[in-house]
Amino acid sequence: MCGRYTLTVDSADRLGELLDAEVDPTDAAQHRPRFNLAPTDQTWVLTDDGGRRLGRGRWGWGARGDGLINFRAERLAAAERAGKLQKARPCLVPADGFYEWRGDRGHRQPLWFHGRGGRVLTFAGLYHPTSHGPSFVILTVPANDVVRAAHDRMPAILDAERGQEWLDSGSSALLVPASPSLLVATPVSERVNSVAHDDPTCLDPPRQTTLF
């Protein structure tokens, strides 16, 4: 699954350049680097309804904090046949990493899975248009060899070409585990365990590394 992620790009304009997307100027003024994004937070969503556009959206479907935040890619076809996704549209969720935890209860070590070289990633998502902007979920797939040691699921990560195909077609055939060479796993500070912490120190090395 994906329950926390990061987007540490320093400016909205830079993010727009990296993703070849127009940035809503009102939303751009609200941008700040995020080191511990959590469900119900407002963050960036890339949509394409006649042009690639970055705007602010809310992570999660449902009015409460326990609403749906992830959706299994394998269940898309059945959900569509049942008419449960009639209002949902494909989107991309920009990120540069996501967190998972490894270890026994009480001694959980957070790991930051991030793109090599600090590259920006795009997660496949689905969004509902609302009067307050998009409300989105992140699609997940079985974990690749890098993530599997911590969790059996991971976000569906798409490169630029497949990302545009997803926006155009919403084809679930595009949603497969990312190549293990794409991601690096780095143990980080336990500060990330609390959503109250959202600053660069979340990515500091742990006080005592227990993974390796």
d(CA 90, CA 87): 10
Residue at 17 is within a domain: yes
Whether pTM exceeds 0.85: yes
Does residue 48 form part of some domain? Answer: yes
212 assigned to some structural domain: no
Longest dimension (CA), the chain: 50
Within-domain flag for 153: yes
Strands 135-142 and 153-155 come out as antiparallel
- Number of structural domains (the chain) is 1
Which residues lie below 8 Å from residue 21, measured CB to CB, with a gap of 6+?
A: 46, 52, 53, 54
CB atoms near residue 26 (< 10 Å): 9
Helix (H, G, I), strand (E, B) or coil at 15: helix
Q: Report how far residue 187's alpha carbon sits from residue 60's, in angstroms, rounded to the nearest whole number.
A: 27
> Domain for residue 209, yes or no?
no
Measured from the Cβ of residue 29, the count of other Cβ atoms closer than 10 Å reads 8
Range of the domain at 113: 5-203
Strand pairing category for 70-72 and 135-142: parallel
> Does the residue 211 lie in any domain?
no
- From first to last of its 212 residues, what are the pLDDT tens digits of the chain? 689 999 999 999 999 999 999 998 889 999 999 999 999 999 999 999 999 999 999 999 976 545 799 999 999 988 888 787 878 999 999 999 999 999 877 778 999 999 988 899 999 999 998 877 889 999 999 999 999 999 999 999 999 999 999 999 999 999 999 999 999 999 999 999 999 999 999 999 998 644 44
- For residue 7, what are the β-bridge partners? 34
Return the CATH number at 135: 3.90.1680.10
